[in-house]
A and B are shown apart, each in its own frame.
Chain A
Amino acid sequence: MYNEPLADLSLVACAHCDMLQRLPQLAPGESARCPRCDKELWRHRADTLNRTLALALAAAVLYTIANAVPMLGLTIVGRTASTTVIGGAVDLWNDGQQPVALLVLLTAVVAPALQIGFMLAIVLGTWRGRAGRWVGTLLRHYPATRTWSMIEVMMLGVLVAVNKIADYATVVPGVALYVLGALVFVLAAMQSSFDPREVWGKIRWAEETPHRRAAAPVAGARA
């Protein structure tokens, strides 16, 4: 059974301490914090859909390249070996470490792909001002893809591994290594340009009533 929403959509409860408060009017770029626990309640991102779309597209291109070419190569007395991101997970699987192989695949390959894919779909679905219910479904699961997407942690791990191996062999950085380095920053920028509150304000409600359809709630609008 659906709850009845409050008439005033600027009323919120802090996600970390539950204190009721009214969000102030924010200019793009400004943010509001909870006075009790200091949690950021909302940051009004400037031009969020355009910027997020541009960065998500860039991330999709970089991600595709990063997974198609070798990441690291190694030479020792005339012998060479190389690996890709997925190759690392496959080797673990073959060495009898199936659960860890799945975790590496999830955090380095699957979750980043979902994170980028969801973001693209969310932004494109909201493009025309009103978003369908499916956008809400993606937005609901988006935080989980972000939690488990660990490209930046993998990059640090690769750097340490390279340093370790460099003691006794020549490490040849592959194209994917540089591309992944760029992807770390593009993903961070994509995340910080995205304003979920604005998108939620444009989504078709689960319980659509004529009154609500007429007064499509817009983030930051006065009630």
Chain B
Amino acid sequence: MSTAAVMSEITALQQGLHSCETCGLLSRGAGGADEARCPRCDEELEFRKKTSIQRTWAFLIAAAICYIPANLLPVLTTTTAAGSDSDTIMQGVVLLWSPTGWPLSLIVLFASIMIPSAKILALAYLLVTTRRGSVENRRQRIRMYRMVEFIGRWSMVDVFVDTFTAALVQLQPLMWVKPAAGLFFFAAVVVLTMLAVESFDPRLIWDASGAQVAQHA
């Protein structure tokens, strides 16, 4: 591993250079043109993702709203001769807990309950600090962003657990499992938080001094 040669902390934006988000090429726009394209990959160029902060907030708020029914409504309904029984995600975690099954139970607890809520809180924190033009803890905040980006997909675990449990346990009239309403909201939380992460532009963390952020956010 080696470190790239530093030319003091000057950004492409300060030099008026477009850095292509698709292919990474640096290029300079002709003065007065209202749209810029990358000469290599033809991508439309912007200094920062368009309306990044607003779009991220929109996805995040939608995710937070869906988070409530996702946790309160049942995700699976099991029917046996003894009757029907509906489980929420948290009840699923409790059911999995056994002398041999507890590691899996912990995985589901982590992936389904802790990751989505931590993701929503972390993104809200990043949005607020970025909007305020905070220059504190920027390395920690960019690390937090990468963590959220990396770990977010694992929340889908519960969707797959419920899908294959329901697909497999189809032994009518002995016993069968069907997905329930909570599953839709849970899947929505996963998708919306992933979209929120994608709309956030991490470069805004480094733009600092509030003026610039307001200009390009």
Contact = CB atoms under 8 A, between A and B. Distances in A.
A153 B112 CA distance: 12
Nearest to B76: A164
A103 B154 CA distance: 14
Contacts, number: 268
A184 to B, nearest CB: 13
Contact of A95 (B22, B161, B179): B179
Contact of B37 (A1, A82, A89): A1
B168 A165 contact: yes
Given A12-B19, A91-B166, A157-B157, A22 B7 contact: yes
Given A22-B4, A83-B164, 10 more contacts: A6-B28, A13-B12, A16-B203, A74-B171, A95-B178, A97-B179, A139-B41, A160-B96, A171-B168, A196-B23
B165 A206 contact: no
A21 B15 CA distance: 12
B179 A92 contact: yes
A214 interface: no
Nearest to B35: A1
Nearest to B139: A37
Contacts of B95: 164
Contact of B156 (A9, A34, A136, A157): A157
Interface in A1-24: 1-6, 9, 11-13, 15-24
Interface of A: 1-6, 9, 11-13, 15-24, 26, 30-39, 41, 71-72, 74, 76-77, 79, 81-83, 87-89, 91-92, 95, 97, 99-100, 103-104, 107-108, 133, 136, 139-140, 147, 150, 153-154, 156-161, 163-165, 167-169, 171, 196-197, 200, 203, 205-207
B6 interface: yes
B205 to A, nearest CB: 7
B5 interface: yes
A3 B160 CA distance: 45
Interface residues of B, number: 84
Contact of B12 (A9, A18, A37): A18
Secondary structure call for the B interface? mixed
A169 to B, nearest CB: 8
Q: A interface, by DSSP: helix, strand, loop or mixed?
A: mixed
B142 interface: yes
